[in-house]
C-alpha cells in the first residue's frame, strides 16, 4: 500500500466533489486526481470510435491502445487534452455503462493506484475510499440533495454554453446515481469509515473549511 498522503473524496454526480477536491489539493500541496474524468475519457473514445462496449474483444482492443493521464491538472487522452469534450451531456449519458465494465475498471484502478504510490493525492470518484485506496488516511463522502445537484449541474452547463434542460439533468443525474450504486463492480458507496458531508445549501468555502478542519484535527 502507498505511504503517500491519500485523501479520498467520493460521492454521487454533481455533489461538488471536484471543486472541493481541487481546493483541498492546493491547500495540502497534493495532486488532484479526478477519476471521473478518466472514465469519461474512455467513454469519449468509445463514442468517437463507435466501439460496441458489449463486445469484449472490441473493448479490450481499444483499452490496449489507450492512454489516460494527467498533465498540469488536465486530463490527457492519448496525449491530447480532452477536458471539454468529456463533459458534454452525451458523454454523461453513456459514461456509467462504460464505467461498469470490468476491463475498464481494472485498467483505470491500476493507473489510479500507481499515481497514489508516487505522489500525495486528493482523489475524487465513487470507489476511492472503498476499493481503490481502502487504507486512505482520510475519507470523505460528499453528497447533496438531487434537486441541488441538478441545479448546480444545470448552471454549470448553461455557463459553458449548452442548451440544457433542468428536468433532463435531474433525470440523468438520478439515473446515473442508480446505475453507479447498483452495479456489481465497485459500486458507489460510502466507506464505513468515511466522514459524511452533506453540501446542500452550503457554500464551497464552508465545505472546504470543514474538510480542512477535520484533516488538521486528526
Question: How far is the CA of 148 from the CAs of 15, 42, 96, 144, 202, in angstroms?
Answer: 8, 28, 21, 7, 10
Shorter beta-carbon distance to ligand CDP: residue 35 or 199 = 35
Binds ligand CDP by CB under 6 A, chosen from 127, 129, 136, 197: 127
Q: Which of 195, 190, 192 is nearest to 218 (CA)?
A: 195
Binds ligand CDP by CB under 6 A, chosen from 23, 25, 35, 82: 35
Shorter beta-carbon distance to ligand CDP: residue 96 or 199 = 96
Spatial contact of 12 and 130, defined as CB atoms under 8 Å apart:
no
Q: What is the spatial distance between Cα 122 and Cα 47, in angstroms, rounded to a whole number?
A: 29
Query: Could you tell me how many helices (H) and strands (E) the chain has, helices first?
Result: 8, 8
> Does 39 engage in binding with ligand CDP (CB under 6 A)?
yes
Please give the backbone phi and psi of residue 7, each rounded to the nearest 5 degrees, phi first: -115, 115
* The pairing of beta strand 195-198 with beta strand 138-143: parallel
> Does 13 engage in binding with ligand CDP (CB under 6 A)?
yes
CB of 217 to ligand CDP, least distance (A): 27
Binds ligand CDP by CB under 6 A, chosen from 40, 107, 139, 152: 40
Spatial contact of 7 and 28, defined as CB atoms under 8 Å apart:
yes
Shorter beta-carbon distance to ligand CDP: residue 144 or 211 = 144
CB of 101 to ligand CDP, least distance (A): 10
> Does 133 engage in binding with ligand CDP (CB under 6 A)?
no
What is the distance, to the nearest Å, from the Cα of residue 125 to the centroid of all Cα atoms in its chain? 3
Shorter beta-carbon distance to ligand CDP: residue 13 or 136 = 13
Binds ligand CDP by CB under 6 A, chosen from 36, 130, 136, 199: 36
> Does 107 engage in binding with ligand CDP (CB under 6 A)?
no
Residue nearest to ligand CDP (CB): 36
Spatial contact of 82 and 41, defined as CB atoms under 8 Å apart:
yes
Residues within the interface to ligand CDP (CB under 6 A): 13-14, 35-36, 39-40, 95-96, 99, 125-127, 176, 180
Amino acid at each position: 500500500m502507498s505511504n503517500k498522503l491519500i485523501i479520498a473524496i467520493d460521492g454521487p454526480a454533481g455533489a461538488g466533489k471536484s471543486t472541493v477536491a481541487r481546493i483541498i489539493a492546493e491547500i495540502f500541496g497534493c495532486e488532484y486526481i479526478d477519476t471521473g474524468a478518466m472514465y469519461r475519457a474512455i467513454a469519449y473514445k468509445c463514442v468517437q470510435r463507435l466501439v460496441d462496449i458489449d463486445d469484449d474483444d472490441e473493448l479490450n482492443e481499444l483499452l490496449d491502445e489507450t492512454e489516460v493521464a494527467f498533465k498540469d491538472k488536465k486530463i490527457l487522452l492519448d496525449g491530447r487534452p480532452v477536458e471539454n469534450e468529456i463533459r458534454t451531456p452525451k458523454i454523461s449519458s453513456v459514461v456509467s455503462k462504460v464505467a461498469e465494465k470490468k476491463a475498464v475498471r481494472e485498467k483505470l484502478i491500476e493507473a489510479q493506484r500507481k499515481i497514489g504510490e508516487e505522489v500525495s493525492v486528493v482523489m475524487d470518484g465513487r470507489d476511492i475510499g472503498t476499493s481503490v485506496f481502502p487504507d486512505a488516511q482520510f475519507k470523505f463522502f460528499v453528497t447533496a440533495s438531487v434537486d441541488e445537484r441538478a441545479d448546480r449541474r444545470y448552471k454549470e452547463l448553461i455557463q459553458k454554453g449548452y442548451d440544457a434542460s433542468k428536468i433532463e439533468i435531474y433525470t440523468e443525474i438520478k439515473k446515473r446515481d442508480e446505475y453507479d450504486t447498483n452495479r456489481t463492480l465497485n459500486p458507489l458507496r460510502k466507506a464505513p469509515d468515511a466522514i459524511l458531508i452533506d453540501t446542500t445549501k452550503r457554500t464551497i468555502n464552508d465545505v472546504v473549511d470543514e474538510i480542512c478542519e477535520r484533516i488538521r484535527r486528526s
